[in-house]
Amino acid sequence: MKTQKNPIAAFFTSREGYLAIFVAILFVVLFFTTNLSGSMYIFLRDLAYLIAGGLALMMVIMLGEIDISSGTVLGLIGFVTGTTLKMGLPIPVVLLIAILVGMINSAVIAFITVRFRVPSMIVSLAMVKLHVGLFPLLPDAGWVSNIPSSISDVGGARLFGVIPVILLFALVLLIFFCWFMKYTRFGRKVYAVGGNKESAKLAGINSDKITFLTFLMSGALLGVTAMMYWLPKTQVIPSGTIGMEMYFLPIAVVGGVSIMGGTGRPIGILVAGILIAMLQRACLLFGLGNQYVYLSYGLIVLVAVYATVSDIKFFKQKKTVGGVS
């Protein structure tokens, strides 16, 4: 048992702390070499949906499962929400509809995974195929344009000129999950099931039920992510979301969630989310093409995962389960 440390000092000597220092240096460099301050609002707005999506993927990866359809489902939700918004439903009702659609999609994946023991990766791959096949069958290929500006103004509302309101919602969500994963019974059970399914079962935890409920929560979060992504925009283009799961996967992996399941803290999602949002902005500001964006995603995931699975002392997480030493 280690001696109790100052929580701030503990944070800066943890994995997330090192990452935070790196992100801060990158931010300063970008701030002084490019016109980051000019696009600060868009940077913060993108950060909002990246945090929500990263949390959604964190939940399933913590169980050792994966949801590759988390990218294309945003397109599906976008179509539904865009259509209902144009019909004139109030935004809170539409948010509930978005959450419902996300939960249905995740429930299908979770049901097949839990009931028939098919790897969730294969099931979600099939769901991607289903979504991609569905987009052209929707009216107008799923495009919803001419959404009234009164609605997109709500999504684009900002405080003090730079801070988007939806970012505040994302931060509230993040704080809620920090509390939820650490101090509730359900959160601890998720860590237990992710660490070792069989042991959890022997300890009296219904791991199938936990897996199903966690997938449902992830689906609800994806619904919120879709709202954050589409609300500030005036038109919905579902086919633009193909491949967007690769925005969220690096966030979850870099944020310290081990792909084997059982570790990770929601606070890491914040730091990793800032890193990915900054990377996207940097590639735009420096005028680098698509090739560098894809290359950086691929390399970041590989390096981050290699750091978690191999025995590099520097990266090795001192705290195994949920930040309790």
Partner 1 sequence: MKRKMKISYELIMFLILAALVVMFGVLTGGIFFNPSVILGTTSDIAYLGIMAMPMTFVILTSGIDLSVGFMMVSSAMVFSVVYQATGYNLLIAAVACLLSGFVFGSINGIIAAKTKINPWLITMSTMYIFQSITWFFGTSYAFSTGYAITDFGYGTIGIVPTQLIVLLLVFVVFYILDKKTTFGRYIHAIGYNEHAVNYSGVNANKMKYFVYMLMGVVCALSAMMYLGKSWQVNQTTAVNMNIEVIALVVLGGTSTAGGIGGVTGTLFAALIVGVLKRGLALMGLGGDIYNFVLGGVLIVSLIMFAYLEKKKKLVSREMAIKNMDE
Q: Contacts by 233-236 with C-beta closer than 8 Å and gap 24+?
A: 233/147, 233/152, 233/155, 234/145, 234/146, 234/147, 234/149, 234/152, 235/82, 235/143, 235/144, 235/145, 235/146, 235/147, 236/75, 236/78, 236/79, 236/81, 236/82, 236/142, 236/143, 236/144, 236/145, 236/147
Place of tokens 């599906």: 76
Residue with tokens 């900054």: 278
**What's the min distance (Å) between Cβ of 314 and partner 1?**
17
Binding-site ranges for partner 1 (CB under 8 A): 66, 112, 116-119, 121-123, 125-134, 136-137, 242-243, 246, 249, 253, 259-260, 289-295, 297-299, 301-302, 305-306, 309-310
Least distance (Å) between residue 211 CB and partner 1: 16
Q: Which is nearer to partner 1, 163 or 305 (CB)?
A: 305
Q: Residue 265, SS3?
A: coil
Q: How far is the CB of 207 from partner 1 (least distance, A)?
A: 18
**Residue number, 19 or 114, with CB nearest to partner 1:** 114
Cβ proximity to partner 1: between 89 and 305 the closer is 305
The answer to whether 20 and 139 are in contact (CB under 8 A) is no
DSSP secondary structure, 127-172, as one string: HHHHHHHHGGGSGGGG-B----HHHHHHHT-EETTTEEHHHHHHHH
Which residue's CB is nearer to partner 1, number 31 or number 292?
Answer: 292
Least gap, CB of 172 to partner 1 (angstroms)? 31
Retrieve residue 317's tokens: 């997480």
For residue 66, the minimal CB distance to partner 1 (Å) is 7
Q: Least CB distance from residue 240 to partner 1, whole Å?
A: 12
CB-wise, 122 or 175, nearer to partner 1? 122
Q: By C-beta, is 61 or 80 nearer to partner 1?
A: 61
Q: In which residue are the tokens 């994963």 written? A: 181
- For 324, which DSSP code? B
Q: Closest approach of Cβ 242 to partner 1, in Å?
A: 6
Using the minimum distance from each CB to partner 1, give the nearer residue, 82 or 261.
261
